[in-house]
Amino acid sequence: MFGTRNCKVKYSYSHGGATTFESCYDFGKNAWDFAISRRVYDDVFKATYQTWSRDLALEWSRNSKFNGTFKISASVNLAEETKIPKLIAESSWDLEM
């Protein structure tokens, strides 16, 4: 809705086609989000940080024609007293019949 301050401004910079830096400002939360990703052959490594929630996340993904697609991610909330990471593993295959 216009005028509710629910607006985000995002800036993305790609360096050499392999590394991407992103920053995003959320006017509704008055907070910044940051991300950096790096492509190495079929792999993509990404780190994100959200200042509002103090969430830090790391992700590794691969999109391969031969082995399918997978993503492994870990996130932790730095504001919590016990910093136990949440781990997620995803995988998918394309089957032709």
Task: Check pLDDT > 90 for residue 33.
Answer: yes
Task: Check pLDDT > 60 for residue 45.
Answer: yes
Amino acid at 97: M
Residue 2 pLDDT level (bands cut at 50, 70, 90):
low
- pLDDT, position 82: 85
The rounded distance, in Å, linking the Cα atoms of 18 and 46 is: 12
Residue 36 pLDDT level (bands cut at 50, 70, 90):
very high
Query: What pTM value is reported for the model?
Result: 0.81
- pLDDT, position 52: 93
